Amino acid sequence: MKDVTPHQMEELWEEDLLERYPEEGKPAKAKEEFRNYDDPARDTVREFYRVNHIHQTYDFVMAKEKEFLKFDKREMKLWDAVEFLNTLVDDSDPDTDLDQTQHLLQTSEAIRADGHPDWFVLTGFLHDLGKVLCLFGEPQWCVVGDTFPVGCKHSDKIVYPEFFKDNADTYNERFNTKYGVYEPNCGLDNVHLSWGHDEYIYQIMKDYLPQEGLAMLRYHSFYSQHRENAYEHLMNKDDHKLFEWVNKFNPYDLYSKAATPPNVKELRPYYEDLASKYLPDTLKF
């Protein structure tokens, strides 16, 4: 993975998602329809998940939460944070000229065009902001990618489950049973997911957005549940209601790419006003 930039890794992950979960009612795209990465780059997705599945243990996640949820890395206004995230774009990448602001706006503008509430629009704009973790030194394998519970048995519905054979928790009796450290239907608020941008941005925003929007932030990469229903046994009634909103959000995240990029200059005043309605002047990262 050392020759793949964070932005390229993100694109490869999204392509892999589109292959696994094509748009409803449409056939899966042929591989040649995706970006023209060569074979080693395509293999990068498997290598990404191999490393991810080895290292994302319960103790690792607890340590990352302790490290990053102090929010002592940087304090920024929302738009400054978005522009900070833009530095993830690699100028040498020949496959895209979209920066992170445009990617976020494509998602949120698609939501706005469908007439959803303004907090839903703002959630779309915020959903990937947690990827600033890469700029704080976090490796890609604990920033992007599908998320999954730690502290209990790994489901075979998680992408590339074979790689969990090298995860220490697989052989730990505390963590390798169906419920592990959890109780039946304990609720996902009590479950720790693999560390990444979803949990990070959720924790930053948890005092500011409606519960429905927070669920979208926290679980939009939790494909082994919202697409595979692998963890019903840990969810409670409230989770099931919130996942109706996660499922509403997911198509905008996966399928909102447009040939014409959004006009950032024209849209910025709307999003600054929208953010001021829900968020404080500065955010702690």
- Residue 253 β-bridge partners: none
pLDDT tens profile 220-261: 999 999 999 999 999 999 999 999 999 999 989 876 666 678
- List the alpha helices (DSSP H) in 33-117: 39-55, 58-68, 78-85, 100-113
pLDDT score of 29 more than 70: no
- Of the two residues 118 and 33, the one the predictor is more confident about is 118
Residue 135: its pLDDT value, please? 92
Mean pLDDT of 70-91: 86
pLDDT score of 93 more than 70: no
Tell me the C-alpha distance between 173 and 158, whole Å.
20
Tell me the C-alpha distance between 209 and 120, whole Å.
9
Residue 25: its pLDDT value, please? 64
Residue 257: its pLDDT value, please? 65
Q: Would you give the DSSP letter of residue 149?
A: B
Tell me the C-alpha distance between 261 and 19, whole Å.
23
Tell me the C-alpha distance between 177 and 122, whole Å.
38
pLDDT score of 200 more than 50: yes
Task: Give me the torsion for CA of 224, 230, 236, 239, rounded to 10°.
Answer: 20
- List the alpha helices (DSSP H) in the chain: 6-20, 39-55, 58-68, 78-85, 100-113, 118-126, 197-205, 211-219, 223-226, 237-255, 264-278
Tell me the C-alpha distance between 140 and 50, whole Å.
12
User: What H or E segment, with its residue span, contains residue 283?
Assistant: strand 283-284
pLDDT score of 98 more than 90: no
Contacts of 237 (CB under 8 A, 6+ apart): none
Q: Are 221 and 158 in contact (CB under 8 A)?
A: no
Q: How does residue 28 score in pLDDT terms, banded at 50, 70 and 90?
A: low
pLDDT score of 19 more than 90: no
Tell me the C-alpha distance between 231 and 122, whole Å.
28
pLDDT tens profile 120-156: 999 999 999 999 999 999 999 999 999 999 999 999 9
Q: Assign residue 63 a region (left: φ > 0; alpha: ψ between -120 and 50; beta: otherwise).
A: alpha
Of residues 123, 121, 122, 101, the one with CA closest to residue 111? 121
Of residues 3, 285, 15, 37, the one with CA closest to residue 144? 15
* Structural tokens at position 71: 């929010």
Tell me the C-alpha distance between 126 and 64, whole Å.
21
Residue 254: its pLDDT value, please? 77
pLDDT tens profile 159-195: 999 999 999 999 999 999 999 999 999 999 999 999 9
**Distance in angstroms between the alpha carbons of the first and the last residue of the chain:** 26
Tell me the C-alpha distance between 185 and 233, whole Å.
5
pTM of the predicted model, to two decimals? 0.88
Question: What does the mean pLDDT of the chain come to?
Answer: 88
Question: How far lies 268's CA from each of 9, 150, 262, in Å?
Answer: 27, 38, 10
pLDDT tens profile 255-278: 666 667 889 999 999 999 999 999
pLDDT score of 91 more than 70: no
